[in-house]
Structure 1
Amino acid sequence: MLISVVLAHPHRGSFNHAITETIIAALEECGHVVAFHDLYAENFDPLLPYDEIPRDAPLPPSVAAHCVEIAAADGLVVIHPDWWGMPPAILKGWIDRVLRPGVAYRFLEGDAGEGVPVGLLRAKAALVFNTSNTPQERELEVFGDPLERLWKDCICAFCGIPVVHRRMFSVVVTSTDGQRRAWLDEARRLAREVFPSDSA
């Protein structure tokens, strides 16, 4: 299987990077091909130009390459921190520019864009990891966990990915080395469960 892994965190020493390294290793141990993108390291431009909005618009080579890859992926893994209940702007820009009409979804003939689209992505599952410094109880009671709705309903279901698993690790800022090791073990197990070995 081809698994697309997308990371959005500006600090190379972050726990997000540790999660990513763990996930990539687990996927490769299961025999999968990993297409990895560290959006900050790649300096991905998150700004969606007006001329790029139409479905058949010409795309910069780097964006076109992302589109080809995500269209071919059998699975998706996304790792990012929870910033204001949202992904970092660089990841939101990746969503805007890469999960585009004709690549990730299309509207039925005669639909001018007001209806329910048909998802086009071939990925059968997505795995999303988030980090936060907000206790889980407060996240749910006060904020309602907006990232859950965003990834499951607004993005993955919209683009045709039927199965979405999401895990929030918190509170990271006060976590111990032992807690982080346990979280990485959990991330490794989830990756193997969601994307088992092709020979299994």
Structure 2
Amino acid sequence: MKGWIDRVIRAGIAYKFVEGDQGEGVPVGLLNAIRAVVFNTFDTPRESEMKVFGDPLETLWKNCIFGLCGVEAFHRKNYGVMVTSTIEEREKWLEDVRTTVNSLF
């Protein structure tokens, strides 16, 4: 995923810095997208992950990636625990992805 981000979320394409920037590094978003959605899977129970790590992926996607590019509305959904999930659970998750995408776009 980092390779995709590095290739797609680039200065001059997804954001730019204001001419005359004196090192503040405050970007101006260039993406025409109004909203973005990210679907994450995980293998650590959500409660354990939140207790130990907080939610760094929310901050990364919302503030450091899409916020940088000017995307106004960000949505993220998590699915798991993958390693112990059943095919029925995964089918429900996929249906939820379809429903979410259809409701947002």
CA distance in 2, matches of 1:101, 1:137: 36
1:105 and 1:159 in contact (8 A); partners too: yes
Deviation readout 1:27-73 (Å, 9 max, x if unpaired): xxxxxxxxxxxxxxxxxxxxxxxxxxxxxxxxxxxxxxxxxxxxxxx
Out of 81, 102, 105, the residue aligned to residue 171 of structure 1 is 81
Out of 78, 94, 100, the residue aligned to residue 184 of structure 1 is 94
Confirm whether residue 147 of structure 1 aligns to residue 69 of structure 2: no
More displaced stretch, 121-130 vs 91-100: 91-100
Give the TM-score normalised by the residue count of structure 1.
0.50
**Structure 2 spans left out of the alignment, 5+ residues:** none
CA distance in 2, matches of 1:103, 1:177: 39
Out of 127, 131, 137, the residue aligned to residue 37 of structure 2 is 127
Q: CA deviation at 1:166?
A: 0.5
**Structure 1 spans left out of the alignment, 5+ residues:** 1-90, 196-200
Greater relative contact order (Cα < 8 A, sep 6+): 2
1:128 and 1:165 in contact (8 A); partners too: yes
Number of residue-to-residue matches in the alignment:
105
CA distance in 1, matches of 2:69, 2:58: 16
Give the TM-score normalised by the residue count of structure 2.
0.93
Residue identity opposite 2:84 in structure 1: T
Q: CA deviation at 1:97?
A: 2.5
Give the share of equivalent positions with the same residue, in percent: 57
1:132 and 1:168 in contact (8 A); partners too: yes
SS of aligned partner of 1:158: helix
